[in-house]
Structure formats: C-alpha cells, structure tokens
Amino acid sequence: MRVVLTGRHVTITPTLRALVDRRLLKLERPLGEALVSVQVGLRQEKKSRVVEIVAHLRGDHMLHGKGSATAWATAVGEAVTKVVQQGQKVKGKYQRRKRHATAGKTVAAQRVAAAEPVKAEGPRIVRAPRYGGKPMTVEEAAREADGSREGVVVFRNAGTNAVNVIYRRRNGDLGLIEPDV
C-alpha cells in the first residue's frame, strides 16, 4: 500500500507520520490486497485538527473518511473508522459476488455438460444425455430406475430387442413404455 501524506498549515513530524501509519494498519487488515493507495490530508483550523483520508481500492473504488477533533490521534481515528466501515461494505460485496459467480459457473457448466436447451414455444425442451441402450431385462431396468435420480431408464429389451423406457410415475409405481412392432 502506498501512503501519501499531505499537510496544510501543519508540519508533518515523524511522530505524526508514525501515528497515521499505525492507525492505517486498521485498513490493511480487512482490505488486504484490494488496497492500492491511501492519501491522507492533515490540516489545522482554528482549534480543531481535520484529517481527510481517501483510499483507492482495486476496481476503481474510492473510500473517503473525514475526522475532526482537538487532538490528532482522535481525528485520525475518526477518519480511519469511517473508511474501515466503507471498506467492510465493499469487501462484503466482493465476497457475495465471488460466491454467486462461483455457484453460477458450476451450475452453468453442469447444464452445458448434462443438457442442452432447445428454444421452442410452450414448455422448454431440454436434451438429456445420451443413453447407451444396453440390452437388459425389464426387472434389471426396474432396479436401475429405483437407484437413479432421474427415475427414467432407456434400455434395449433383451427378449424382444426393442427399445423400451421405464419411468417413475407420480404415485411411486414404475411405468413401462414398449413400442408397437
């Protein structure tokens, strides 16, 4: 993090610089790598000392905090507290966006891998993954349908050599579709 310290009507002593650097550590903890640079403006008005902090974060985010008090330590503390609050809000947005983006990418990748939608009017048609159609008996297909998540098994009937479908009905029973030969 790059720190630029500017004083108006104030001479910046090593003690004052150390105070500002020590208080700015509170910014580094929550923001970490997102914090690019910090500009600190110190000025003295009649009886008060004013501290303005502008923090630049990645993604062109600017955080601004202003503190005013009779002592430098209090004024710097107020300004840093305001910037930390804004930083927490921005950090939360980064994390939420990251969480949602990750979840969306995996769901989208699964959809592309598993099914490809075809646009049509009315109900949406989703192309399912290809089935092998291996030869098996009706009983074997029924056991496989019980174990599958989709509840549908397409298979080649070992007895008739025709393609059949076993599916789970709403009442929990299994239905068998056999083509007319």
- CATH number for the domain spanning 144: value is 3.30.505.50
> Residue 108: what residue type?
A
**150 is a domain residue:** yes
Whether the pLDDT of residue 50 is over 90: the answer is: yes
Whether the pLDDT of residue 52 is over 90: the answer is: yes
**28 is a domain residue:** yes
Mean pLDDT of 23-50: 85
Domain count, the chain: 2
Q: Where are the alpha helices (DSSP H) in the chain?
A: 14-31, 72-114, 138-147
- Mapping DSSP to helix (H, G, I), strand (E, B) and coil, where does residue 163 land? strand
Whether the pLDDT of residue 112 is over 60: the answer is: no
Find the CATH number of the domain harbouring 92. 3.30.160.100
**16 is a domain residue:** yes
Domain boundary among 111, 139, 154: 111
Q: What domain range includes position 82?
A: 2-111
On whether both 92 and 150 belong to a single domain, the answer is no
Beta-sheet pairing, 35-44 with 49-57: antiparallel
**120 is a domain residue:** no
CA distance 18 to 40: 13
Q: Rounding to the nearest 10 degrees, give the CA dihedral for residues 65, 66, 67, 68.
A: 180
On whether both 83 and 19 belong to a single domain, the answer is yes
3-state helix, strand, coil in the chain (%, to 5): 40, 35, 25
On whether both 106 and 134 belong to a single domain, the answer is no
Residue 69 pLDDT class (50, 70, 90 cuts): very high
- What is the average pLDDT value for the chain, to the nearest integer? 80
CB 166 within 8 A of CB 142: yes
